Amino acid sequence: MGLLTTFEFLQEIKDKYPIGSDLECIDNVRFIKSIEKKKETLFCDADVAMVMLAKGHNVINMRNWLAFDDKEVLTFYAYHKKSGRGSSGGIDYMLKRLKIIYFLVDETIQVNEPMKPNSGYPQGCFIKKQKIPLPGCDQETGPYYRLPDLVVGTTVIFYGKELRITGVDAFTRDFLHTMGVPAKDNEQIPEDPYFEYRKKADLDVSIKTKPNLNRNQPPNGYDSLILRFRGYWDNRDQMEGELHFYEVLYYLIDDTMELVEEIVDETKVTGIRHKMVVKRQRLPTEGPWCLQPGYNVKQDILNVMSTNKNSFYYTMDTQIGDEQKVSYYHCTDLFIGQVLNVYGRSVVLFWCDECTKSFYRNVYRLETFDPIEAPKTMKEIEEEILNQKRVEIILKNYDEVLRKRLIKYGGTDIIFGFLIKMITDDPINRGRNFMLKYYLDDTEFAIYEYRETNSGMRGGMFRSKRGFSANQNPADLFIFHQLAVGVNICIDEFKFTITDIDDKTLQFMMDNPKEFSHSNLVTVRSKTREVINNRFQSLEEFQTKYFQDRELVDRDEFRNVLSFDGELNPHNGVVLALKHKRPDPFEPFTDDVLRSSVQDAMRKGRFIHFDGLKNNFRSRKSKSDRVGYIVCSEAIKAMKSNRVPLNEEITNILVNKFTDTENGCSVNFEDMVEFMDYVKNPVDPPSRLAREMLFVKPKKVLVRVKEFIDGLRSET
């Protein structure tokens, strides 16, 4: 660190106080010129000092190396005529454009030749920085060229070479004007005969091979745009072939293309290593790929042998041959799906970036840029299979956790019931109805067929309770939370569709929306409201069109309306139908049917103690002061204590019939006992069993429309 600080300090001193030409190197040995040997002025020139004084710098009686630095130079333009002897065009000379740089710090001169491409001769430094003696003078003693000797319009001789000074730059002109020696106007430099000959002879290869001469100019504002595509080359059908991916770049400025291969490299941070495949160039559309030297030169060069076998002479062929035409790819040839012939490789373009899409959309009015799917590598296929196995394991574990949670919540006797139909082209099998029972505790299931009269099918057990068979296709496996109305399942090569669901099963699913997302009431209502808003202006318009202001509609009609021609999942209609179902568990019946069933049960139970039942009722306390009435709970206790042969369902129906809700839910036990007494008030016995007359499920399930509409309105 100390050496670095010392070096920086010395460098600062050198830049601030640059030394003159006191150092020299003789035979690779460095010497310091002695003061006695030097024949140069140690102080700043008087004229130059006045110029610096005018610029605000007082350098009178100050040494040059303290007054100036290497950056303060004067520049003169000049040219030198070099002999053209030996050239093929027979020209007299070749003109070399030069720059004469005069350093004020030590009055040295350096001559440079600016670089010109494809000139055919070396360029750069023409004369190194040094003091140049006047013609005929000694290098050591001088005198040397100084600033007054460099005048525009004159010729100077540097070591035998004549240099014509044609002008100065702006800084030099201002400097000379301040010094009182105004410079002349810059002269025009004549043209170089050598390059004029090359243009006339049409031999300048560099001009002909420039790719931007004969091409369509890009639209304004897109000169610097780079079109970016991605492509692939698949040669895996060959021995040891691989799938290669490339980044294809197209430069609109000169119609050149560049291909970079993307190689998977796990050692890199991004995981991809880039390799240049085709460097930036104009890409030909077809072969030959290796062109012969001179393919684009109109004239041929002939060699003629002389009598001396070591000497050759060349001449131009007067017969102009046919020029070989080469077609190149243009931006109009690039689009997704295009197959590029890149030196024998078939590269398919399958993607482009947004900037490229914007260019083609604005310039060529293209609208479709659908990417095509590129083939997958073996590594990607292996990773996809591995990820799929991981997902299966995770889902299996997750399903097991859900199943155990539901069993803990609802018990081990949870059985899901679904109505299913067979998917087949056979009209007979298509009309068969089945019941699927799924047992949650062991994930096994059974299928039962409904018996129908004159159907030709026996009905009953279709598949016994068991899990999936060993030869079941893994893609057809299903789990409990996937079962819903409208889902297609495959069991032992039989395909079924779920058409309906048991109310108890559906209610269990609605009570657990996290495990059964398809039965989430909030989500179902939101989807239904979204479809209605897209089709109708208001809920009232929807209600008027489909329900005609009815308060109750049939469940099947309700489900058909909410399917919206297949736009919504049919399970949504089932969920909403259960939510807004009218609570009518059984079909209504008459008092005669109820009395006949009650007396028949009392007769079969040989109950004759009706007077004792009345006394039991009278002995119990009643909250009502009315005679002959008793509280509901006390009435049920009295009937149980007398061992009335009625089951709980019929008892509740009988008690509810004689309950007076207006007077504190009290039961008229006098009338109820008379209703039950088959000795004093007998009626005809029933024609069927009591459960077949009193507990008949309604043929039609009705849905309350107003409640459904109010539920949708609450979601907004």
pLDDT of residue 701: 83
- Does 130 score more than 50 pLDDT? yes
What is the rounded end-to-end Cα distance, in angstroms, of the chain?
74
The answer to whether residue 690 is domain-embedded is: yes
Average pLDDT over all residues of the chain: 79
Distance CA 622, CA 663 (A): 12
Neighbouring CB atoms inside 10 A of 68's CB total 23
> Which among 233, 218, 237, 192 is positioned nearest to 97, based on CA atoms?
192
In Å, how far are 25, 113, 132, 167 from 157, measured between CA atoms?
A: 25, 16, 9, 17
Q: Could you read off the pLDDT of 132-141 as tens digits, one per residue?
A: 999 888 888 8
CA dihedral defined by 684, 686, 687, 692, rounded to 10 degrees?
160
- Of 164, 198, 232, which one is at a domain's C-terminal end? 198
Do 393 and 360 fall into the same domain?
Answer: no
Is there a contact between 507 and 499 (Cβ–Cβ < 8 Å)? no
Q: Could you read off the pLDDT of 576-595 as tens digits, one per residue?
A: 998 888 877 777 778 888 88
pLDDT of residue 37: 41
CA atoms within 13 Å, Cβ hemisphere of 540: 0
Give strand pairing partners of 227.
250
Mean of pLDDT values over 289-313: 61
Do 351 and 400 fall into the same domain?
Answer: no
Q: Could you read off the pLDDT of 460-505 as tens digits, one per residue?
A: 889 888 888 888 887 788 878 888 999 999 988 889 999 999 888 8
> Which among 575, 580, 488, 485 is positioned nearest to 527, based on CA atoms?
575
pLDDT of residue 85: 59
**What is the residue-wise DSSP string for 174-209?**
HHHHHHT-PPPPPPPPPPPHHHHHHHHHT--HHHHT
Do 79 and 148 fall into the same domain?
Answer: yes
The answer to whether residue 17 is domain-embedded is: no
Do 253 and 164 fall into the same domain?
Answer: no
Do 107 and 189 fall into the same domain?
Answer: yes
In Å, how far are 363, 366, 463, 517, 576 from 502, measured between CA atoms?
A: 62, 55, 19, 17, 14
pLDDT of residue 194: 80
Q: How many residues does the chain have?
A: 716
Segment holding 539, helix H or strand E: helix 539-547
Do 230 and 353 fall into the same domain?
Answer: yes
Q: Could you read off the pLDDT of 371-419 as tens digits, one per residue?
A: 888 888 767 777 777 777 666 665 556 667 677 777 777 677 788 899 9
What percent of the chain lies above the pLDDT cut of 90? 14
Distance CA 90, CA 100 (A): 30
Number of domains in the chain: 4
Do 394 and 480 fall into the same domain?
Answer: yes
Segment holding 305, helix H or strand E: strand 301-305
Report angle CA 530, 533, 539 to the nearest 5 degrees. Answer: 115
The answer to whether residue 609 is domain-embedded is: yes
CATH number, domain of 688, equals: 1.10.238
Domain that holds residue 455: 387-519
Do 410 and 449 fall into the same domain?
Answer: yes
Distance CA 149, CA 131 (A): 13
Is there a contact between 283 and 329 (Cβ–Cβ < 8 Å)? yes
Do 513 and 610 fall into the same domain?
Answer: no
Do 234 and 356 fall into the same domain?
Answer: yes
pLDDT of residue 36: 41
CATH number, domain of 99, equals: 2.30.29.170
The answer to whether residue 709 is domain-embedded is: no
The answer to whether residue 483 is domain-embedded is: yes
Least confident range of 281-285, 335-339, 410-414: 410-414
Query: Taking the alpha carbons of 403, 406, 412, 415 in that order, is the dihedral positive or negative?
Result: negative
Is there a contact between 447 and 436 (Cβ–Cβ < 8 Å)? yes
Q: Could you read off the pLDDT of 180-198 as tens digits, one per residue?
A: 778 888 888 888 888 887 7
- Does 248 score more than 90 pLDDT? yes
**What is the residue-wise DSSP string for 572-622?**
HHHHHHHHTB----S----HHHHHHHHHHHHHHTT---HHHHHHHHHHS--
The answer to whether residue 622 is domain-embedded is: yes
Do 181 and 256 fall into the same domain?
Answer: no
Do 365 and 396 fall into the same domain?
Answer: no
- Of 480, 496, 519, which one is at a domain's C-terminal end? 519
Select the highest-mean-pLDDT range: 262-276, 365-379, 532-546: 532-546
Which is more confident, 628 or 36? 628
The answer to whether residue 529 is domain-embedded is: no
> Which among 240, 289, 282, 234 is positioned nearest to 259, based on CA atoms?
282
- Does 313 score more than 60 pLDDT? no
- Of 474, 498, 519, which one is at a domain's C-terminal end? 519
CA atoms within 13 Å, Cβ hemisphere of 413: 1
DSSP, res 63: B
pLDDT of residue 267: 78
Q: Which residues of 534-564 are buried (b: 16+ CB within 10 A; e: fewer)?
A: eeeeebeebbeebbeeeeebebeebbebbee
Contacts of 527 (CB under 8 A, 6+ apart): 568, 572
Pairing outcome for strands 301-305 and 312-316: antiparallel
Q: Give the ranges where 182-331 is alpha helix by DSSP (H).
A: 193-201, 205-208
